[in-house]
Structure 1
Amino acid sequence: MTFDAVVLAGGRSERLGGRPKAQLVFDGSTLLERTLKAVQDARQIVIVGDPGSSTVPITTIVTCEVPRFGGPVPALAGGLVAATGAVSEWVLLLACDMPHVVNAIPGLLSHRAGDGVLARDDDGRDQYLLACYRRAALLDAVDAHSGALAGMSMRALVGTLDTTVIDIPAGSARDVDTWDDAADFDILPNTGALHD
């Protein structure tokens, strides 16, 4: 089961007062390190954003979205073009702010069909940043919207793709957007440096 992974680790983290989500520490590891461990079986891993002090495998590609802080769609586009060599047909896309994301990955990889498979969270919401997409379908969608990617939502980008939605284990998609979310995971607010 071959796949590449694009991990989104950018953004301003405005609701966290500018503390990068990737650098928050949960259970002894940063959220980015936990995410990288969850996708360690990927053929290629591309981080879009600043890994900061996180331990990143030497084979991991690090890039930035253009424009910086342009949102998830430019980040995805940057991650797709940063991949090198023999790329995989399937791309696992995930944000770095879900401490228990590892539990969702086997289901996403095993249900690949059509243009992709999206996770559905505990509240019944489709998670466009926790999904496995066919690379060609993503590239076509990005090309169709070139010049208008900044600020675009993932839903707008992939809304016309032939995707399947699957339920994932409870809590897998719970993310850290605010300090209240962080407190639910016992993440302390003094971890991580402020964005420039």
Structure 2
Amino acid sequence: MAEKTSPPGAAPSRTTSRGVPGRDATRAQAPAVDLVVLAGGRATRLDGQDKAALVVGGSSLLDRLLAQVGPGAPGELGGRVVVVGRTPVPAGVLRTVEDPPGGGPVAGVVAGLDLLDRASSHEWVAVAAVDQPEAGRALAPLRQELGVVPRAVQAVRPWGSGFEEQWLLACYRREALREALRSLPQVDGARMRDVAAALRWMLVLSPADHLGDLDTWADKEAWERRLDGDAAGPV
């Protein structure tokens, strides 16, 4: 499901955070962030496998993400979590489905926001496709940057060398995201890059091993090797 590539025409306006000295105190006041997890993709290159339930590194992709940034996790984002898809979710996590079912990531984001609006009102909302095994390790540092982003910045995402632009691993100002979604002629089948093109971005440097998605069985094997290496630690 993870949607990559640059939008047509000019790239979104952006600045890059490189860890400005003297900002640690402000980062400590990082705001609470709600989270929309997109888990409704068709996974055609995985033979229709429910990606959220796909086990990688000993845990399902959904369990892995929630263990990193879900309720009670070390990197908890501080807001409510909603999963968009027909996969089971644990207690304390909300669930909904996109309208229409199979309508794509933009329809999933709209469905997630609609449910979140009845449960929370935090200024920032994170969006993550479930098929990114280390998404939580990228999102937690993003939250720490939100206390220092300029008011003109409407969205923040990680950046790493060799990592393609990824709109489904990012934090968005809720109202700016809503406005960009309202500007679309329709959400069914819409592209997230068209939403992203309407926003002003800040990029946050992130370790490359936190980034990347899983679309094929070959990707799964590669991730298993990567995660086995992380667990083993330095030799």
1:56-71 correspondence runs (5 A):
56-71=89-104
1:23-172 correspondence runs (5 A):
23-40=53-70, 41=76, 42-52=78-88, 56-83=89-116, 84-112=118-146, 113=149, 114-145=153-184, 147-172=185-210
Deviation at 1:168, TM superposition (A): 1.2
Q: Which moved more, 1:42-51 or 1:114-123?
A: 114-123
Residue pair 1:48, 1:78 contacting (<8 A) in 2 also: yes
Residue pair 1:119, 1:168 contacting (<8 A) in 2 also: yes
Counterpart of 1:49, as a letter, is G
Counterpart of 1:90, as a letter, is W
Measure, in 1, the Cα distance between the counterparts of 2:58 and 2:220.
14
- Report the number of matched residues: 183
Structure whose alpha-carbon radius of gyration is higher: 2
Measure, in 1, the Cα distance between the counterparts of 2:195 and 2:37.
17
- Specify every segment of 5 or more residues in structure 1 that has no aligned partner in the other structure, as ranges: 188-196
Q: Deviations over 1:14-63 (max 9, x none)?
A: 111111111110222100111122222232000000224xxx33121100
TM-score (norm 2): 0.73
- Alpha-carbon RMSD across the aligned residues, in angstroms, is 1.6
What percentage of aligned pairs have identical amino acids?
37
Deviation at 1:85, TM superposition (A): 3.1
Matched with 1:194 is none
Q: Which moved more, 1:61-70 or 1:122-131?
A: 122-131
Measure, in 2, the Cα distance between the counterparts of 1:95 and 1:121.
18
Secondary structure in structure 2 of the residue aligned to 1:4: strand
TM-score (norm 1): 0.87
Deviation at 1:135, TM superposition (A): 0.5
Secondary structure in structure 2 of the residue aligned to 1:164: strand
Counterpart of 2:145, as a letter, is H
Q: Which moved more, 1:14-23 or 1:79-88?
A: 79-88
Residue pair 2:83, 2:95 contacting (<8 A) in 1 also: yes
Measure, in 2, the Cα distance between the counterparts of 1:106 and 1:174.
16
Measure, in 2, the Cα distance between the counterparts of 1:152 and 1:185.
29
